[in-house]
Amino acid sequence: MMDVLIVFLVMGCGAEKKEEVKKVVPKVETFELQKDRLATELNLPGELISFQQVDLYARETSFVKKVYVDVGTEVKEGQLLVSLDAPELTSRLAGAESRWKSQEALYTASKANYERLLETSKTPGTISQNDLDQALARMNSDLAQLEAAKALYREVGDARNYLEIRAPFSGVISSRNVNPGAYVGPSGKGSELPLFTLQEQKKLRLVVSVPEAFTSFFKQGDEVDFKVKARSEEVFKASIKR
């Protein structure tokens, strides 16, 4: 009888240890979402101009008597810039005054005559109604002539006030085209160039030409930043007006 040997091969005696796997979760920054307008930056050239500017002419044909300012002079509103001389205007004023006094004397006489006839007419049969009506018409006519003479005198007197040219607002004289003795007058009637150009420079306008494609990004009241070459380190601010 043959003996049989059975051998059992055991592959392992214990359970294999599993390797532990660690998962790394990346950190994510979060923020609170807010509603706001989209922003973009647009660089455009612009021009700073005076807030107000005016060319000053003589209203009356005249001669320059005295000039009180020059280019670069800072002036206040109402300050006298130049005085003019117009001899013809002085003669017209004297004539208007003479006519006024003459008409005043005529009116005084016709008024006294009417009042005298009116008082006399209270006695029946002394003054006819026709004479009284004519005296009243004469008085009213003289009164109208007197008022016309007064108006003419005031008109010539007002014209004399234009012989002194004053600054309509505070600013800086940027140009001067006259000297004492020069013949001046309204534009095209004695003066081809203005006597002075006055600019308000303490307040300026920033004018920028914006391409049509970008106009929808702007609205009235928006604030813009700008720089000027003379002070390139500084940033100035302006608000859109129109």
CATH number at residue 92: 1.10.287
Residue 180, domain member (yes or no): no
pLDDT given at position 93? 83
Closest CA to 68 of 166, 154, 141: 166
pLDDT given at position 42? 83
- Residues of the domain holding 93: 87-162
Integer CA distances (angstroms), 103 to 99, 112, 132, 148, 152, in order: 6, 14, 21, 9, 12
Residue 5, domain member (yes or no): no
Residue 136, domain member (yes or no): yes
Residue 115, domain member (yes or no): yes
Residue 210, domain member (yes or no): no
**Is the whole-model pTM more than 0.75?**
no
pLDDT given at position 2? 47
Is the four-CA dihedral 215, 217, 221, 224 of positive or negative sign? negative
Please list the rounded mean pLDDT of every run of 10 residues in the chain (242 residues): 48 52 74 77 87 90 92 94 87 86 90 87 82 88 91 84 91 93 78 88 89 85 88 88 86
Q: How many domains does the chain have?
A: 1
Q: Is 72 left (phi over 0), alpha (psi -120 to 50) or beta?
A: left
pLDDT given at position 144? 93
Amino acid at 80: L
Which residues make beta-bridge pairs with 47? 207
pLDDT given at position 197? 94
Residue 6, domain member (yes or no): no
The DSSP code for 127 is S
Q: Which residue has the tokens 């008022």?
A: 147
Collapsing DSSP to helix, strand or coil, 105 comes out as helix
Residue 122, domain member (yes or no): yes
pLDDT given at position 77? 94
Dihedrals φ, ψ of 241, to 5°?
-105, -40
Q: Rounded distance, CA 192 to CA 195, Å?
A: 9
pLDDT given at position 7? 46
Tokens of 97: 């005054």
Residue 48, domain member (yes or no): no
